[in-house]
Structure 1
Amino acid sequence: MEKGRSGVNQRLFAQPARKAGKGRLPWPDLTPYQQIKEGADMLSYQHIYHAGNLADVQKHALLARMLSYMTVKDKPLSYFETHAGRGLYALDAAEAVKTGEASAGIDAVEALGWFSQDHPYMAALTQVRAQYGGRSYPGSPVLAAQLLRPQDRMTLAELHPREFEALDRTMNGTGARCLKQDGFEMLLAATPPEPRRGLVLIDPSYELKSDYDMLPGFVAKLHRKWNVGVVALWYPILTSGAHQPMLQALEAKDLPGVLRHEVQFGPARPGHRMIGSGLYLINTPFGTSDEADRLSTLFAAL
């Protein structure tokens, strides 16, 4: 994956998406649904309603900083996502406009000058907008693809049928392996990976409340299989405090190199239960805590 001066992978943007016209991605016409059956119950979450919100800002800024550091060395790495989504979003889509979360998120923090142009997160945003339009926004797969190199391996899991279809199209030509599979099952089957260096983003929607109970044991098992892997677990901070028992259970596992980073913000709309965003990191890369501290200061001033 060829990189420009900013460290952003140019290859992703040099190749048009399948069936794209004039270099623009044909945004899939995805509509919300309550529940479908395809061998097992599927859930309704689609990230287009929340793309570019303040939780994305925290998560993507730290992810970009970690991958930027990890790709300084020549050694290859493996990158995984358990809940990849569609990979690329249009912030002027009806779903995104309806919630207004991007306006209060990435739009607001850009106006405040949170990120310099050479920050890997902002460099990625600039490249995506140049290719797909000013209101496009990269999900974590597209963000990661720009920072990874030819020797690195990317594996993305997404179980939602329509989201997977869009993901597979978006990532065509990047070298990513896209799987329509349960992300937790994929990760346990794929680890320890080759190359052994690497990072996984575990980013469920938590529509299944059982995820809170399952994740501490899952993360501990994953670490036993892949003890050098960087694990980035995202979780929402809700008014109910549903994340607290999960974090207490994780702390009891005594995992290495832990960094717990949380930011708080006002609800996106009246009655909205999410009031913050958290990342629980294991084997945290050097320099991540500095970026986390910077973000904490910025979020506190909102």
Structure 2
Amino acid sequence: MLSYQHIYHAGNLADVHKHSLLAWMLDYLTRKDKPVSYIETHAGRALYDLSADEARKTGEAAMGIARVRDWFAADHPYMKSLVQTAETDGENAYPGSPMIATQRLRDSDHITLAELHPGEHNALELALPTATCRRSDGFAMAHSMLPPTPRRGLMLIDPSFEIKDDYDTIPTHIRKYVRAWNVGVIVFWYPILTSAAHHNMLKTLQSDHPDAFRHEVRFPPARKGHGMIGSGLFVINPPFGLAQEAAKLKTRFDQLK
């Protein structure tokens, strides 16, 4: 299935959770003068217009970044990306994770992105002409290139879950990724749903990786009947200080009504 397009959800509260911590982790990795590999398995188009009909239709950005932008100080890596994107592409532009990675990383770092949807892949290449953008299955791409060169780095796994088997197969993929790249920071995003579809998957992941860092935030549904009520990150080999940064962010989310 290739129906998912993130423009309907860009800038929502799950993106705020995921992207702010991703930006922080990339900032942490670049504090050392050593090159970094960044891999993303489900990249999307990298740049989103929050004034587009699709984004306004769901109202998720209005309930998300438009509402909570003042959570982040000017020197926060996420805010730096928001400001840079607005300056480059206009005040309604929002950076997806590949754009944030491109902005936060250096010329010496390596970025490899996978996106299977043809339209999204074309937009991704236009937005990020200097990145390696592959039109391929992201899970398969990651298996083919791990461990990367340089070995130091981060991989973001951010699937749409439009393939329901993902909940069953993702733990197996991640188990193999860790075996192949035991020093990599592996970041997996998952939705928290009213259906509790993620519960068994998380039990397996925690059993396989007991030292991983799991962080979840809850928020009101973006609209009546919307099944996503929270956002989760499962991080293997978490950077030092991530737990403290995530705890500060959770305090903000806990204040939402």
TM-score (norm 2): 0.98
* Number of aligned residues: 256
Q: Does residue 125 in structure 1 map to residue 87 in structure 2?
A: no
5 Å matches for 1:138-177? Answer: 138-172=95-129, 175-177=130-132
Q: Look up the match of 1:59.
A: 18
Q: Can you give the 5+ residue segments of structure 1 that lack an aligned partner in the other structure?
A: 1-41
Corresponding residue SS for 1:285: coil
Q: Look up the match of 1:76.
A: 35
Alpha-carbon offset, residue 43 of structure 1? 2.4
Q: Do the aligned residues in 1 keep the contact of 2:2 with 2:116 (CA within 8 Å)?
A: no
Alpha-carbon offset, residue 151 of structure 1? 1.2
Q: CA RMSD in A?
A: 0.8
4+ long deviations beyond 6 Å:
none
5 Å matches for 1:130-279? Answer: 130-172=87-129, 175-256=130-211, 258-279=212-233
Alpha-carbon offset, residue 176 of structure 1? 1.1
1:60-106: CA deviation from partner (whole Å, max 9, x where unpaired): 00000000000000111100000000000000000001111001100
Q: For residues 231 and 83 of structure 2, what CA distance do their matches in structure 1 show?
A: 24
Q: Do the aligned residues in 2 keep the contact of 1:199 with 1:229 (CA within 8 Å)?
A: yes
5 Å matches for 1:2-151? Answer: 42-110=1-69, 113-151=70-108
Corresponding residue SS for 1:103: helix
Q: Can you give the 5+ residue segments of structure 2 that lack an aligned partner in the other structure?
A: none
Q: What is the percentage of aligned positions where both structures have the same residue?
A: 59
Alpha-carbon offset, residue 252 of structure 1? 1.2
Q: For residues 140 and 81 of structure 2, what CA distance do their matches in structure 1 show?
A: 30
1:199-229: CA deviation from partner (whole Å, max 9, x where unpaired): 0000001111110100111101100000000
Corresponding residue SS for 1:102: helix
TM-score (norm 1): 0.84
Kindly provide the amino acid, as one letter, of the partner of residue 44 in structure 1. Answer: S
Alpha-carbon offset, residue 254 of structure 1? 3.0
Alpha-carbon offset, residue 291 of structure 1? 1.1
Q: Do the aligned residues in 2 keep the contact of 1:255 with 1:282 (CA within 8 Å)?
A: no
Richer in helix (by share): 2
Q: For residues 131 and 2 of structure 2, what CA distance do their matches in structure 1 show?
A: 25
Q: Do the aligned residues in 1 keep the contact of 2:218 with 2:229 (CA within 8 Å)?
A: yes
**Rg bigger for which structure?**
1
